[in-house]
Amino acid sequence: MITFMVNSGIGDLSWLYSKLDEFTETNEVRFLVAMDKRERARPFIEMHPRIKSEGYGNFGDHIPMKHTIDGNTDLKTLEQKAYPLSINKWLIDGKKLKDWLPNEPTNYKYNLDFTISDKENAKKLMSKNINIGLYGSSYSTLRQWNFWKEDLWMDLVHTISKIYPEVTFYVIGASFDIDLGDNLYKTLLAKNIKAVKVIGETLGLALSVIKNLDYFFSFPSGLGIVANVLNTPTMMFLPPHLEQMKYNFTPDEDNENGFFINTKFISPTEAFELFFENGKQHMEKRISNKIL
């Protein structure tokens, strides 16, 4: 058995899943996760069909990032013991996911295990028309990263609603996102815009909803990263200090045809223009397939 000491974020783990997918078919792998008060990692590891959790370790996220094995390591040469493993700095430095651990294939669309309950409950929440997801994070994170509050999210919503009046918006987030998410949801309802709140639910339900969306707009997060894994057309915004990561962790085809749009922090008007030029055709294709 090999234990990897890993970062605690869902996106951090998703990148590892892509590169460890084939390796875990023939090797027993466990994750020991950096300390995290929010315990984001545990439910996501439980959704992996093969990787098991050893819980949370007595170390911070900086340990895997600083001491990770070399990015050119052949995993088949590793002994049966514990190793720090992180791809974060590799991506931040502008390198691509597919080039990390080059002896391992990259599965951008790996499988996750969803419970029957989460899948059924997600389907009950979906409208029969257009379903668009919004993930805006929390006020505390926005203050640090200087992104949209609910008023700017509403600017994007109003522009989309004028063209697609039948749309339902899904406000998605964890329990710690409830301040911004709840205010955005209430604002949508007050403006007579159809909305569903998916905040503080199980991770499996949130990801099941994302999987069933026709389009997803996301603040930089694990949800935006996993949305591409789930084959949901997505626009995910990046702050200035992470712009080197743009298009480094998704398939070239998705990047080139606009199925996944990775952009710096921009205005709602610019976001809509980018969506209208490059993203809406993927949304409309999903809608037409749903009707058929």
List pLDDT tens digits, range 232-283. 999 999 999 899 999 999 999 999 999 999 999 999 999 999 999 999 999 9
pLDDT digit string (tens) for 197-230?
Answer: 999 999 999 999 999 999 999 999 999 999 999 9
**Pairing between strand 2-6 and 82-84?**
parallel
Q: How confident is the model at residue 149 (pLDDT cuts 50, 70, 90)?
A: confident
pLDDT at 139: 55
pLDDT at 51: 97
pLDDT at 174: 80
pLDDT at 292: 47
The yes-or-no verdict on residue 140 having pLDDT over 80 is: no
Query: What is the rounded CA–CA span in Å between residue 290 and residue 195?
Result: 20
Residues 6 or more apart from 246 whose CB is under 8 A from it? 238, 262, 263, 264
Encoded tokens for 91: 């991506």
Query: What is the rounded CA–CA span in Å between residue 20 and residue 26?
Result: 10
Q: How confident is the model at residue 39 (pLDDT cuts 50, 70, 90)?
A: confident
CA-to-CA separations, 262 to 72, 89, 119, 185, 237, in angstroms, rounded: 26, 18, 27, 25, 6
Percent of the chain at pLDDT exceeding 90? 86
The yes-or-no verdict on residue 177 having pLDDT over 70 is: no
- What's the mean pLDDT in 114-127? 97
**Pairing between strand 130-135 and 29-33?**
unpaired
pLDDT at 248: 97
Domains of the chain by residue range: 2-99, 124-291
Query: What is the rounded CA–CA span in Å between residue 160 and residue 274?
Result: 12
Encoded tokens for 181: 């998410």
pLDDT at 147: 87
Query: What is the rounded CA–CA span in Å between residue 66 and residue 61?
Result: 9
Phi and psi at residue 71, in whole multiples of 5°? -65, -10
Under 8 Å between Cβ of 134 and 184: yes
Encoded tokens for 55: 């819980």
Quote the mean pLDDT of the chain.
94
Q: Name the packing angle between helices 222-229 and 10-20 (round to 10°).
A: 30
Q: Domain 124-291: state its class.
A: alpha beta
**Pairing between strand 234-238 and 260-264?**
parallel
Quick one: 81 exposed, middle or buried, by C-beta within 10 A (0-12, 13-18, 19+)? exposed
pLDDT digit string (tens) for 68-85?
Answer: 999 999 999 999 999 999
